[in-house]
Chain A
Amino acid sequence: MREMISMVVVLTVLSAVSGGMLAGVRMGTKTRIENQVLKFQKAPAIKAILKNVTNDPLKDRFNIKDKNQEVTFFLGKHDGKPTDIAFETHGQGHEGPIGLMVGIDINSDKIVGVRVTTTTETPGMGTRANGDSPFAAQFAGKPLTTVFKVKTDGGSIDVMSGATVTSRGICVAATEAKDIYMRLKPEIKKKIAKM
């Protein structure tokens, strides 16, 4: 019996101490990790989408709670006036989620541009959606009333040949972006007015 108790006590204490230590390390590294994720994953996409802004969208960012998740918005300003916002949404690809950074012009409610941020698609196939691809360029300038669907599903977006699933995933992410923007528009305006 004594053995049992010592076993339980030692294991519990050990787990508790490790848990506590990790919580400490986590606290210490949290902001740094967030900055690193911004710097290496989101920054290139944001810079590419919000080309004509004069501020640093990475600094002018704010969070809004949407349903059960926090969405981070990056604000682009031109000569001190807010013009665009960018935020990330997700769609399902062949081999996992695809992250899509979507930029929206808040004055005309048009898409400024989209960029794929994270993807695990087969190299050479889905990855063609990265960078300045003609596929991603199709979204630029479209008003938010557009239905983002690939042509085979009755929409207006041309698929990347051989990568239908990826193309669909990106359309889903773009549609989600549209929905989020429409839903949160009043709150976004409020936040921007304060900045």
Chain B
Amino acid sequence: MENYIVLAISCIFVNNILLAQYLGNCPFLGTSKKMETAVGMAMAVIFVLVMAGIMAWITTNYFLKPLNLEYLTTISYILVIASLVQFVEMFLKKSIPALYSGLGIFLPLITTNCAVLGVCLINLKEDYTFLQAVVASFSYAVGYGLALVLFAGLRERINIARVPQPLQDTSLGLVTAGMLSLAFFAFKGMA
């Protein structure tokens, strides 16, 4: 039990997927201009990442490893993720329209969110057991959501400020992300 808590904390804070491992930056900058979209994206990522983590683990351990097809990892992971996203989208549209209206527009974006594929590959590299993989996927996703929401808060504040023209938008966004990353850097001391 203790191990899982350590793993979760390390994935959320110390090895934060966005700010320490640089994964999933495109949607990070794209959807963080408003708090509302940031929360929506964060939810969608948590949802998809946990499922993708589970599916990827099953794919590796029940198909690729027994058949010695490890070199097909990349192609099969991305197919699993793409079809998963498609499936989730259809399922939500039919069964839970309320949730779909909230998450819907973010779902197609997630296929190309490198955080999802990245976490699946990290789980593979670390050789996690099933439970570890689930905990790690969930914690990475929570870390992603946390960073996204925090960053959206900062950005909403910046929008009111007067920024020199060349620094506007993405440029200052990146510098701000750097500051946030510096704050998360302090968690390294905990390890």
Contacts and interface: CB of A to CB of B under 8 A. Distances in A.
A18 interface: yes
A94 B9 CA distance: 13
B36 interface: no
Contacts of A19: 72, 75
B127 A22 contact: no
A122 interface: yes
B71 A26 contact: yes
A122 B125 CA distance: 16
B96 interface: no
Contacts of A94: 191
A176 to B, nearest CB: 15
Contact of A18 (B75, B125, B127, B191): B75
B67 to A, nearest CB: 12
B127 A96 contact: yes
Interface string A10-33: 000001001100100010000000
Interface residues on B, range: under 10
Output the residue of B71, B75, B79, B125 with the most chain A CB within 10 A. B71
B75 A22 contact: yes
A22 B72 contact: yes
A22 B71 contact: yes
Interface string B150-191: 000000000000000000000000000000000000000001
Nearest to B125: A96
Assign chain A's interface to a size class: 10 to 19
A95 B10 CA distance: 10
A19 B76 CA distance: 10
Interface string B105-141: 0000000000000000000011100000000000000
A120 B126 CA distance: 9
Interface in B71-117: 71-72, 75, 79
Interface string A83-120: 00000000000111100000000000000000000001
Contacts of A95: 10, 126
Contacts of B127: 96-97
B32 to A, nearest CB: 29
Contact of A96 (B72, B126, B191): B126
Contacts of A120: 126
Contacts of A22: 71-72, 75
Nearest to B66: A68
Given A18-B75, A95-B10, 17 more contacts: A15-B75, A15-B79, A19-B72, A19-B75, A22-B71, A22-B72, A22-B75, A26-B71, A94-B191, A95-B126, A96-B125, A96-B126, A96-B127, A97-B126, A97-B127, A120-B126, A122-B191
Interface of B: 10, 71-72, 75, 79, 125-127, 191
19 contacts: A15-B75, A15-B79, A18-B75, A19-B72, A19-B75, A22-B71, A22-B72, A22-B75, A26-B71, A94-B191, A95-B10, A95-B126, A96-B125, A96-B126, A96-B127, A97-B126, A97-B127, A120-B126, A122-B191
Interface of A: 15, 18-19, 22, 26, 94-97, 120, 122
